[in-house]
Structure 1
Amino acid sequence: MATSSPSVLALNVGAPRRRPWASGDVTGIDKRPVPEIEVRDPGPKEGGLGSGVVGDAIGDRRHHGGVTQAVYAYAREDHDWWQERLGRPLRNGMFGENVTTVGVDCTTARVGELWRIGAVVLRVEVPRIPCATFAGHLGERGWVRRFTDAGRTGAYLSVVVGGTLHTGDAIDVERPGHDVDLLTTFRAFTGDLEAAARVLDAGVLHETEHAALARTVGRRVR
């Protein structure tokens, strides 16, 4: 089967909505397609602008948004993989991603990889860690464990150069010289101490994420 050229298949933005599966909280995970989005560096997770996408809602700013989670990308190919296993259609944006890609393997994207999309430059930072909001939104039993086991995490991106993205834009991928990918980083953050040591030794994470992983490892080896 022919491989599609790396490109933006869909762009998605979420309005703030009450979580029907939990009381008192809002979420922006239910994202819907738009023809274009404006991206910018949102600043720090606490005290910053939240999402790196203008007009995109984030309910829990303690755990989401900020520099290293400015934009979330998920591959259409991974949506299709999940569709087969869940036996239900998954529209673009269903996983809460801002950018639905085609022809880009988000699982093996390397930390520090640059995506040049027109004048915009995005940097691959960290994998998505599944949470209760994600599970509630999907409504799938045991979703956090299933997503973790599969390791098809998608890519959180920082905004190096801001601007406007359009549906159909080509993505030019520039990989760094190291081999630390998002799947290895995901395993590191979800309890694999060998993977964590490898990621920390490589020194490729943003300083805030490096510190967070080091703290996590420290708690586990006590």
Structure 2
Amino acid sequence: FTLYYMPAVDLQKGLVTEIEALLRWNSPEDGLLLPDVFLPTAEESGLMTALGEWTIERAIETIHHWLEDGRPPVRLSINISPTHFWSPGFTESFLRRIKRDPAIATWLTVELTERLLMKNLEKSLEFLEAIREFGVRISVDDFGLGSALLPNLPELHVDEIKIPQAYVLHMERHTRTRQLVKTIIHLGENMGIDVVGEGVQTVAEKKRLLEMGCHVLQGFEICPPVPLPALEDFLKTFQ
């Protein structure tokens, strides 16, 4: 297994705001495989928790690498799968890892989906409050696709919400979807929450989001997922 990295860029300021760590599998037979190919098998085999722990460790190693090289690091975001999040002892294990490296926590973002957070709001709140104390940033992935999180958003104190790729894809053709995107952007502005447009694949999508006031974008149009050396080359263009 290996990590690829996908930056989110504030196109108004010309800054890389965050980098998402994405799991890939270098299969000896089939080459580089995306998660939708191998994660179902990992789920069936009971390997999701181990893969989640591996991803966290590799992400922390990457931050260490940047700090040791004397370069200003960029926040690194990791996706926590529902299976990993709800596994026994996850919160305790995550907190132990953060306590070993408290300086790393301030460069880490945890991405959780709306559906995951709403499955057990009480436990979700406990986890978010615990990691927030260490400076870990909290991002809600696929905001607007899951259960109704909106009424509970103020008490979650999240730092970032991500406009789903499905909304970005369809907003040019569907007025209602475009209105949903506008609503998410305005919600973020009014609540002081950063908004990221993810899955941006075309110039038209990029232009539309910028016109609507969403300046932090992520997707193949901005930069595809790349291995660490290519990411570091990309970052040099913003220094």
Provide TM-score, normalisation by structure 2: 0.25
The structure with the largest alpha-carbon Rg is 2
Provide TM-score, normalisation by structure 1: 0.27
